[in-house]
Amino acid sequence: MRRVLEVALLLLVVLSLPGLRERVAFDRRGPVTLVIDGRALRQEAREEGTDLLKLLAGYRALGVGGVAFYEEHVEDRVARGAGVLLEGGWLRTLAPAAGFQPGWYYTTVPGATVLPLPQHRVVWQDRTWVGFPTDVSKLPLGPPPELPAAYRMGYFIVYRPDNRWPRPWPPAVPAGVGAYVFVGDQALGWPDRLAETAKRLNAPVALIEGTPQKGILPLARAHGALRLFSLRAEYQRKLGPDRAAEKYLLAARERGHQLLYFRPFKTPEETRRFIWRIEAGLKASGIPLGPPAPKTYRPRWPRVFAWGAALAGFLLYLFALPPVLAIPTGLFLLLLAFGYGGDQAGPLLVGMVFPTLGFLRGGRGLLPWLFALLFALAGGVLIAELGSSWASLLGLTAFRGVAFLLVFPPLLYLLARLPRTGWTETLRALYDHRLRLGEAALAGLLLLALAVALIRRGNDAPFVPGVELLLREKLQAVMIRPRFKELFGHTLGVFALLAPLPTWLQNALLAGATLAEASMLDSFAHYHTPFWISLVRGFNGAFIGFILGLIATWLYRGVRRWWWA
């Protein structure tokens, strides 16, 4: 029966491969636009004593294709000399009879009358002063006057409206906008006016890496979405032009970002070097510069074969279990996958089970390690097909169950290695087993490794040593960097299969080796990462881990011969 399931699994995976065509098309990189921050650019123009549009013309000549204009606040118009904003008590000391009220804020800024607040008008010195009962300096008024000129220069316009209330409604929607990037953690119109916002927008919205924004999903569905990468201004300057450019290039190459949003550096020379490094890196990677467009994705019908392959792998694992454990374990895994995973049930089931299948298949020498790698790659294909959707590929929804992918494979592997006896014999054997100090120590190390893998998941993992960060950076500079869990697990798997070890110790080490396959599947579950990037990352991890495993085996055999000589 196991052979039938293996053949069925292989056939179903092959039949599901045409379903990857749409995914691969979605992952096609570029075009990419460099977007410079308009607020930082305005400050640079002030410091250099030049005009903002003149500065924009210079950046356009350098190859910068986009500029981000923030919605102007009252204080922005005051700063560029379009009016003044003063407190009523201070104005009353200057003109006691004019009618200014203390505690109110009066402005001559054009357009301020659109603010939906109680207003008090005073005419003084041939000007009309509009008063408000609160400080309105931070309230938005609309687009800046330079936006149309920048559009005529050929810039891709990114407009940044502010959802701060009270604000004018309906909001002004300038012509020529290429994308909207909302300020703060809220989309324009959230929470009650998103439907109105969707009707007024005339361009896609941008999804900022690492900055989830409330209410952006319905706007993205209505108008499309672009992925945007940026660094905080202080962090970008701390990195310097070369290291910062590498991070932007990595985002475009390996995470499919279409808008690279940056601020000028302290000196024009640094900014020019940064732009040059990015343009050269994009060209070397074959990623074109140009106005980006939203992508669409529709799952294809071969996904049904992927479901069949996932169920075949699940049954294959159940047949590897002791018969008394097969039904309760299968029910538990199904309840966990469908009850917790929801629409990610298929990928979660594959991620928990497939890392164990190769090592449970058996074989001589490195055959189990090779089968484990093949099953992991098959699982990666299934996860990519079953979990990919328009929202997940854009990073709007995430895979549910990363912790389960790292915890369950080692435990499920050990469960399948229990004696194939009845309940009574199994419980009696466990009760009568004489625990050895080596077994206890190894079990402790394995649990520690699982805890570290669980805590260290994600990009914001704690206690990452500086040496590891440096090694990551060096590996990233020369290849698509594999994860350290993959290097550790593949090394452990090769060592466990080649080194002369007792069976109990080999099984314990192979349980830890399933972390490599689990980490590979976790890479494929990062749907916004292009499929081929995850594939190459998996091969790189397997190759380096294989070499390290051979070295570890050679060292162990040498030490062992010396010890017993």
The last residue of a domain, from among 95, 110, 132:
132
In a domain, 480, yes or no: yes
In a domain, 226, yes or no: yes
CA atoms within 13 A on the CB side of 551: 9
In a domain, 434, yes or no: no
Q: Are residues 379 and 461 in the same domain?
A: yes
Q: Are residues 532 and 473 in the same domain?
A: yes
Tens digit of each residue's pLDDT (9 = 90 or more) over 156-209 = 999 999 999 899 998 888 989 999 999 999 999 999 999 999 999 999 999 998
Domain extent, residue 516, equals 2-26+297-416+441-564
Task: Give the relative orientation of helices 367-387 and 531-564 as an angle to the nearest 10 degrees.
Answer: 160
Omega within 30 of 0 (cis) for the link into 170: yes
The last residue of a domain, from among 234, 256, 284:
284
Helix (H, G, I), strand (E, B) or coil at 31: coil
**So what's the pLDDT on residue 260?**
97
**So what's the pLDDT on residue 504?**
77
Residue type, 270: E
Q: Are residues 373 and 350 in the same domain?
A: yes
The last residue of a domain, from among 226, 252, 284:
284
**So what's the pLDDT on residue 336?**
93
CA atoms within 13 A on the CB side of 69: 25
Which DSSP letter does residue 114 get? Answer: G
**So what's the pLDDT on residue 212?**
87
Q: Are residues 250 and 351 in the same domain?
A: no
**So what's the pLDDT on residue 163?**
94
Domain count, the chain: 3
> Which of 442, 439, 453 lies closest to 516 in space, CA to CA?
453
pTM recorded for the entire structure: 0.84
> Which of 197, 143, 149, 178 lies closest to 261 in space, CA to CA?
178
For 90, counting Cβ atoms within 10 Å of its Cβ (0-12 exposed, 13-18 middle, 19+ buried), the class is exposed
**So what's the pLDDT on residue 456?**
54
**So what's the pLDDT on residue 211?**
87
Rounded alpha-carbon distances, angstroms, from residue 149 to 50, 60, 67, 142: 16, 13, 12, 16
> Which of 78, 40, 36, 84 lies closest to 61 in space, CA to CA?
36
Q: Are residues 272 and 307 in the same domain?
A: no
- pLDDT < 50 stretches in the chain: 459-461, 463-464, 466-469
Q: Are residues 204 and 250 in the same domain?
A: yes
| Cα–Cα dist 189/199, whole Å | 11
In a domain, 427, yes or no: no
**So what's the pLDDT on residue 384?**
93
Q: Are residues 241 and 265 in the same domain?
A: yes
Any residues with CB less than 8 A from the CB of 189 and at least 6 apart, and which? 163, 195, 196, 197, 215
Rounded alpha-carbon distances, angstroms, from residue 223 to 173, 197, 216, 303, 309: 14, 11, 11, 27, 35
Q: Please give the structure tokens belonging to residue 260.
A: 């690279």
For 183, counting Cβ atoms within 10 Å of its Cβ (0-12 exposed, 13-18 middle, 19+ buried), the class is middle
**C-beta of residue 171 within 8 angstroms of C-beta of residue 198:** no
Tens digit of each residue's pLDDT (9 = 90 or more) over 297-329 = 888 888 899 999 999 999 999 999 988 889 999
